[in-house]
A and B are shown apart, each in its own frame.
Chain A
Amino acid sequence: MATPRTITLTVNGTAHQVTVEPRTTLVDLLRGDLGLTGTHVGCEHGVCGACTILWNGKAVRSCIMLAVQADGSEIATVESLAQDGALHPIQQAFMEAHGLQCGFCTPGFLMSISELLARSPDPTDDEIKDTLGGQICRCTGYQTIFAAVRLAIKKLADARAAGGGA
């Protein structure tokens, strides 16, 4: 048994202080300790992307990041997207454009896309594909997910034009 460490981190705007074993991965902290089970665990070696979260605004694999590495960080998970029961425009676009089927990979897709659109609100097709390439979906196929991203871009632009934010 290795020496446990106490860390502090902010998850979806809420500050947490937790004591973890060094070998605890960030995704296990999120799901097991904090009960945020929206983040999924797939391959557990950083390939499938189901566990993708935002670490200080950057999309990373939480299955190959230790909780102790996130000490002092801001984390955002898929639970941060919907506000007061209303889906985030990216989620809404996924629903309307059939960007998901079984939904297992979807949390990772949503977080990767939210990083892309925060950095680059009007991305090129290549930028979108580079981002989607880091996520594996085995049922929907990528065409509808790509269409969902294009729809999300439009929804977010409309919201900005209407002064609504989002």
Chain B
Amino acid sequence: MSAGAFDRFLGALRSALHIGPSRTERLAAEVRDHFACAAEELAATADAPDEIEGRVIERFGSAEDLAREINATDAALAALGRRITVRHLTLTAFTSAAAVTILLRALADGFEPAFPILLSSSVALLVLAHGVYAWLRPYSVVNCAAGPGVALLGVFVMICRGLFAWSMGLDYDVLILALGVLIILQGSLSALTAYDHPLCT
């Protein structure tokens, strides 16, 4: 059987795709296998090889339509990935910097939070761990639940610290206020990012 029509189709497909050489070749190999399967099935019923190729390609659709759909999907997923990466990178960097500052302050000055939950090392580590996880796996369904949890932790930290400062007649610690806000933002953004994702419903 001549492979002329199939080769022309695959050539047209390759030149219309804009998804990088390795993924282009992968799709071409899949389509080639598809053509071979369809041609084998039609071989028993059709007359001439040229006719078989024509029918296989007709059933498959045009190379341009396939390339257009693949290019559009690729562009949409790349845009989603960039949006998510920039959001997470920026916010996690801020939150991590604030949490690390608290940890360093605790280590250097022997800083002892007056109320264990207010900004103990474990809270800071938890927030750091969540930030790293949410950045590495922004699509994970875990973030749908963990994000709101972390945001609530931020609210809890701020309220506890506020009540403590009010009851003791102390000034509200600006650093802790900033960290609380950042924790809330980190948790909320992580959850929103996950909800944005079609698999996190």
| Bound together | no
Name A's B-contacting residues (CB within 8 A): none
